[in-house]
Amino acid sequence: MKVLSAAFVSCLLLCTVSAAQASYQFKSFQNPSATVTRVFGMNGHGDLVGTDNTIPGRHAFLVNRDSYVSLDSSGVLGTHISFARDINDDGDIVGGYIGDDGNEHGFILRHDVLITLDVPFAGSVGTQLDGINNSGIITGVWVDGAFTAHGFVYEKGSFAHLDYPGALDTFPYGINSRGDVVGNWDTDQSTVGHGFVFSRGQIFSIDVPDAVPDGTAANGINDSGQIVGSFIGEDGNSPGFLVEGSTFTTLDCVEGANTGVWGINSAGQIAGTCDVAGQRLGFVANRIPMKKP
């Protein structure tokens, strides 16, 4: 795996036609009986997955056309700490749960059947599945005995390593239908680090211009190549962002703070989590069409 040359990175980010500044209408929500709702994934139908405390603790959920489901409520996901991280258009859900052994294990929930999926790599003490595309290709993170995070891609029964060159930790979070992967990497676990994009066998770093050094995380990517994530600004705030070509747009919940944008689908809808009036809420945001002059 090679790092892109500076010229190629610039062309990939800057030679794309820049979009106009985007505006979104946000709708925040709290799941039934919950005080914490965190949204991590969204598919092309607008279905949302994440974790909440509707059942005491933290447990995986699905919101499907405004219908709420606590996933596997009487099984492993409902009786252990669990996180749903992504959902594809077929309704396949991936994530992680804390097992009786105290380690995190990856899971796939397909047609109401739960499958545990852990990496087979020597030294692994934990697996989290973070993204799944419409072809069923999965990306995620495994942790070694030194609690260093490594990335992987899982396709047709085979695991492949995905680590940013020179990084201490690599966290792949999102994958689109082309197999492009986004995430973040760091050289110091006390920082957020930098975003990255892995595409067509090449990998390169991405930072929001207004972010502090080591303060950008890329979380999701759609089939148009639009990227979403979050960053720490020079003013100390933590908004979300959208990248379209060379244009970076800051995204914030209305009257909210600490906006983490985790998902963007093919329609350009975005989803994530933010703090509003002291509560941790999920949100969905729809793009507001530009008015013709």
Nearest CA to 124 out of 97, 142, 141, 106 is that of: 142
> What percent of the chain shows pLDDT beyond 70?
91
Distance, CA of 220 to CA of 230 (rounded, Å): 10
Give one DSSP letter per residue of 12-72, joined into a string: HHHSSPPPPPP-EEEEEE--TT-SBEEEEEE-TT--EEEEE-SSSS-EEEEEETTEEEETT
What is the Cα–Cα distance from 208 to 242, expressed in whole angstroms?
10
Average pLDDT (208-224) is: 96
Q: What is the dihedral of CA 130, 220, 35, 252, to 10 degrees?
A: 160
Based on C-alpha coordinates, what's the Rg of the chain?
18
Average pLDDT, the chain: 91
Alpha-carbon distance of 97 to 176, in angstroms, equals 23
Provide the pLDDT confidence category of residue 23 given band limits of 50, 70 and 90: confident
Residue 1 has what pLDDT? Answer: 28
Residue 255 banded pLDDT, cuts 50, 70, 90 = confident
Q: Measured between alpha carbons, how far is 51 from 263 in angstroms, rounded to an integer? A: 14
pLDDT at 288 (0 to 100): 86
**Average confidence (pLDDT) over 249-271:** 94
pLDDT of res. 11: 28
* In the predicted structure, residue 2 carries a pLDDT above the cut 80: no
Model confidence at 16: pLDDT above 70 = no
226-250 pLDDT tens trace: 999 999 999 999 999 999 988 999 9
In angstroms, the CA 42 to CA 269 distance is 9
pLDDT tens string 34-77:
999 999 999 999 999 999 999 999 999 999 987 999 999 999 99
Does 14 score more than 60 pLDDT? no
* CB atoms closer than 10 angstroms to residue 96: 29
Task: Work out the average pLDDT over 122-151.
Answer: 98
- In angstroms, the CA 216 to CA 234 distance is 12
- Alpha-carbon distance of 204 to 220, in angstroms, equals 15
Question: What local confidence, expressed as pLDDT, does residue 20 receive?
Answer: 37
Q: Is residue 151 predicted with pLDDT exceeding 70?
A: yes
Lowest mean pLDDT among 71-80, 180-189, 283-292: 283-292
Q: What is the mean pLDDT of residues 199-221?
A: 96
Q: What is the pLDDT of residue 293?
A: 59
Distance CA 119, CA 159 (A): 7
SS3 assignment, position 77 = helix
**Residue 289: predicted pLDDT:** 78
- Return d(Cα 127, Cα 179) in angstroms, integer: 20
Closest CA to 276 of 30, 34, 60, 83: 30
